[in-house]
């Protein structure tokens, strides 16, 4: 069975109402795609028994692999296991070792073990249990008329560990098809421009599948191709990335897992350097992105959130006259924010941001979305004006990532 396809099913009224975003389907699809199993349909349904059965009938008729997440808790509205028993016409089987592990888990945490919790040790008789080390609801694997059904808890952390630790190894044995993937990351280049630039280069290679994935001022080019040997695949990926990056090196900055916060950390570590931030309209988002990376304490000094003019003056030494003459959103103010950040923190590099995030506060001269972003080391400053849109959250995110890219360029330039 070399050409498998999959359908994912998510169960939960909260998913249909929009109160909870369905991130599970996206994660499962990505993992399956990496081993050459495309997801051809995604289904979201409520906690209704007949809908679950109908969805399984339809999915089994269309695909070789079906995943189902949600409804495995111990409460009355968690109906997935009982529906599966009805669907396959089997009973529940008690696993004594799981029951003892559950009791021990509750005892260690100081909780009372109730009868409803005992149901977490019962699973349909025809299911192979898949270990879930992060929760009480184990995963399940059913074989049905040559097809495969995998059932998992809806909690993302638990779903992810069962998918990567249990399901992917099982399915990898069923397909000999393997796909190599390369993600090429860019910022500040419109998708259409990136497409026109990269298409002539990518068209030179056969068997490539190309996707352009835009998100908040950034675009990732996803390149996939049939895998050969590890060395051959690596050589091809390196060649493609190098050629595409050379098209616009100030904007095409990284590959695969090297998104901007990760790449910044690597550059600072390589140069044994540190960074500090001063933020106004972004409210500490740049500092948050940098410190999201494990080990960032090695290179992140401190972050100043100087939202008010008073704190720009008291914390960073911005002159009152500068604010009067030029305003908080200006190149002059950001320049003094940078100088204050370097002197106060002792960091090798500084980032400073001040802008009009919106949706109010704009003027004719500085409309909503106007942001000044600066980076500096002890000797140099580079400050740029950006004009983003009218959405406050997007403006903050695009400002933060644009700041990281300017920082990347400064570190690379000063260390050439």
The two beta strands, 209-215 and 6-11, are unpaired
Structure tokens at 199: 């298409």
- Tell me which residue has tokens 């901007």: 260
φ, ψ dihedrals at 206, nearest 5°: -90, 160
Rounded to an integer, what distance in angstroms lies between the CA atom of residue 15 and that of residue 214?
Answer: 24
Contact between 147 and 65 (Cβ < 8 Å)? yes
- pLDDT for the residue 104: 85
Pick the CATH number of 6-172 from 3.90.78.10, 3.30.479.10, 3.90.850.10, 3.40.980.10: 3.40.980.10
φ, ψ dihedrals at 305, nearest 5°: -105, 95
For the stretch 227-241, pLDDT in tens is 888 889 999 999 999
DSSP 8-state assignment for residue 329: S
| Banded model confidence at residue 384, pLDDT cuts 50, 70, 90 | very high
Rounded to an integer, what distance in angstroms lies between the CA atom of residue 49 and that of residue 305?
Answer: 51
- pLDDT for the residue 228: 83
Residues making up the chain, counted from first to last:
416
Rounded to an integer, what distance in angstroms lies between the CA atom of residue 140 and that of residue 75?
Answer: 19
The arithmetic mean of pLDDT across residues 351-359, rounded, is: 97
Contact between 341 and 350 (Cβ < 8 Å)? yes
Contact between 371 and 399 (Cβ < 8 Å)? yes
The arithmetic mean of pLDDT across residues 350-354, rounded, is: 98
Rounded to an integer, what distance in angstroms lies between the CA atom of residue 265 and that of residue 288?
Answer: 13
Rounded to an integer, what distance in angstroms lies between the CA atom of residue 273 and that of residue 279?
Answer: 20
What is the percent of the chain where pLDDT is above 90? 78
Task: Choose between 311 and 108: higher pLDDT.
Answer: 311
- pLDDT for the residue 1: 42
Contact between 352 and 338 (Cβ < 8 Å)? yes
Buried b (16+ CB within 10 A) or exposed e, 311-326: ebbebbebeeebbeee
Is the confidence at residue 335, as pLDDT, over 90? Answer: yes
- pLDDT for the residue 108: 83
Angle CA 67–30–34, to nearest 5: 105
Hey, is 364 helix, strand or coil? coil
- What is the pLDDT of the chain when averaged over all its residues? 93
Rounded to an integer, what distance in angstroms lies between the CA atom of residue 119 and that of residue 331?
Answer: 63
Rounded to an integer, what distance in angstroms lies between the CA atom of residue 150 and that of residue 52?
Answer: 14
For the stretch 190-213, pLDDT in tens is 999 999 999 999 999 988 989 898
Task: Give first-to-last CA distance, the chain, whole Å.
Answer: 51
Say which CATH topology domain 260-414 has. Maf protein (3.90.950)
The arithmetic mean of pLDDT across residues 24-28, rounded, is: 93
Rounded to an integer, what distance in angstroms lies between the CA atom of residue 306 and that of residue 316?
Answer: 8
Please name the helix (run of DSSP H) or strand (run of DSSP E) that holds residue 103, with its range, or none: helix 96-109
- pLDDT for the residue 176: 58
For the stretch 42-101, pLDDT in tens is 999 998 999 999 999 999 999 999 999 998 877 767 799 999 999 999 999 999 999 988
Is the confidence at residue 177, as pLDDT, over 70? Answer: no
Buried b (16+ CB within 10 A) or exposed e, 195-234: eebbeeebeeeeeeeeebeeeebbbbbebbbeeeeeeebe
Pick the CATH number of 184-255 from 3.30.70, 1.10.10, 2.60.40, 3.40.50: 3.30.70
**Residue 149 burial (10 A CB sphere; 0-12, 13-18, 19+):** buried
Contact between 342 and 376 (Cβ < 8 Å)? yes
With both helix axes pointing from N to C terminus, report the angle between 331-345 and 309-316 in degrees, rounded to the nearest 10. Answer: 40
Instruction: Write down the domain spans for the chain.
Output: 6-172, 184-255, 260-414
Torsion over CA: 368, 369, 372, 375 (sign): positive
Is the confidence at residue 347, as pLDDT, over 80? Answer: yes
| Virtual torsion, Cα 307, 262, 184, 389, nearest 10 deg | -10
Structure tokens at 180: 């190599």
For the stretch 124-141, pLDDT in tens is 999 999 999 888 899 999
Rounded to an integer, what distance in angstroms lies between the CA atom of residue 267 and that of residue 265?
Answer: 6
Is the confidence at residue 309, as pLDDT, over 70? Answer: yes
- pLDDT for the residue 394: 93
């Amino acid at each position: 069975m070399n050409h498998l396809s999959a359908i994912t099913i998510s169960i939960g009224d909260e998913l249909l109402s929009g109160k909870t975003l369905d991130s599970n389907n996206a994660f499962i699809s990505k993992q399956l795609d990496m081993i050459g199993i495309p997801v051809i349909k995604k289904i979201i349904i409520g906690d209704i028994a007949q809908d679950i059965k109908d969805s399984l009938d339809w999915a089994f008729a269309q695909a070789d692999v079906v995943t189902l997440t949600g409804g495995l808790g111990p409460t009355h509205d968690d109906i997935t296991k009982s529906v599966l028993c009805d669907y396959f016409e089997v009973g529940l089987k008690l696993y004594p070792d799981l029951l003892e592990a559950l009791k021990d888990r509750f005892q260690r945490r100081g909780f009372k073990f109730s009868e409803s919790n005992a149901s977490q040790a019962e699973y349909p008789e025809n299911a192979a249990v898949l270990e879930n080390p992060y929760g009480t609801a184990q995963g399940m694997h059913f074989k049905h008329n040559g097809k495969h059904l995998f059932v998992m808890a809806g909690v993302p952390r638990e779903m992810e560990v069962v998918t990567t630790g249990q399901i992917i190894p099982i399915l990898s044995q069923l397909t000999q098809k393997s796909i190599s993937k390369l993600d090429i990351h860019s910022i500040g280049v419109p998708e259409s421009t990136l497409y026109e630039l990269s298409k002539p280069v990518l068209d030179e290679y056969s068997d490539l599948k190309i996707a352009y994935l835009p998100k908040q001022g950034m675009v990732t080019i996803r390149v996939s191709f049939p895998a050969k040997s590890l060395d051959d695949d690596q050589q091809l990926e390196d060649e493609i990335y190098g050629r595409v990056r050379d098209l616009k090196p100030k904007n095409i900055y990284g590959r695969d897992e090297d998104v901007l916060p990760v790449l910044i950390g690597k550059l600072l570590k390589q140069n044994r350097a540190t960074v500090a931030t001063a933020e106004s309209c972004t409210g500490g988002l740049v500092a948050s992105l940098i410190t999201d990376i494990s080990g960032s304490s090695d290179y992140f000094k401190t972050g100043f959130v100087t939202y008010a003019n008073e704190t720009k003056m008291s914390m960073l030494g911005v002159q009152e006259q500068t604010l009067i003459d030029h305003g908080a959103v200006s190149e002059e103010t950001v320049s003094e924010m940078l100088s204050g950040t370097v002197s106060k923190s002792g960091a090798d590099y500084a980032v400073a941001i001040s802008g009009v995030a919106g949706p109010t506060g704009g003027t004719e001269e500085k409309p909503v979305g106007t942001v000044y972003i600066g980076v500096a080391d002890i000797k140099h400053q580079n400050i740029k004006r950006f004009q983003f849109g009218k959405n406050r959250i997007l403006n903050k995110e695009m400002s933060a990532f644009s700041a990281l890219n300017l920082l990347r360029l400064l570190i690379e330039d000063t260390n050439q």
